Amino acid sequence: MRPSPKPAVAGVYGWHFKQTPHHDLDAGRLLYVGIAPRYMANKTSSQNLRKRVRYHYRGNAAGSTLRLTLGCLLGLELRRVGSGKRMTFGKAGETTLSLWMAENARVCWIEHGEPWVLESKLISELDLPLNLDQNRHNAFHGRLKDLRAEARQRARELPISA
């Protein structure tokens, strides 16, 4: 495995995109922030910036709210997989999304010992349309929430995908 510039520490990461995932969003500006690890009162998380950013790039929609959002905005078909409880864009859709992200996604980060504190501050003070949690005040929130709910509903109506 080649070395990663992303540190294996706690922090906040931010995403912006060369090509916008939706016509109502501007390309090139910060659209989403996330944290690693998330706040866990009773146990220690093994997540860090390197692992979390890598998962957003290479994982699937079931484990990445960013991938779920981007896939829905790009019009990919969400499907139930496995036992039917998890939802992803299927192998082809996840590959399409990964290729789109490789071409368009850019990530930045800042190391921070309590990233959940900084995340809340950023979401309350910045226009971050792809964040749903803590972000009801954002003008894009309702549209994104509805778009994701519609994709989930359509997936429930389709047969479980292999």
Strands 11-17 and 30-36, how do they pair? Answer: antiparallel
DSSP 28: T
Give the distance, in angstroms, between the CA of residue 71 and the centroid of all CA atoms in the same chain. Answer: 10
Per-residue pLDDT of the chain in tens (162 residues, 90 and over written 9): 554 567 788 999 999 999 999 999 999 999 999 999 887 655 567 889 999 999 999 999 999 999 999 999 999 999 999 999 999 999 999 999 999 999 999 999 999 999 999 999 999 999 999 999 999 999 999 999 999 999 999 999 999 987
Q: What's this model's pTM, rounded to 2 decimal places?
A: 0.92
Cβ-based neighbours of 41, under 8 Å, separated by 6 or more:
none
Strand partners, 32: 15
Please tell me the distance from the alpha carbon of residue 105 to that of residue 57, in angstroms, as a whole number: 9
Q: How far is CA 139 from CA 4, 10, 34, 51, 111, in A?
A: 35, 29, 19, 31, 29
Maximum Cα interatomic distance, the chain, rounded to a whole number of Å:
44
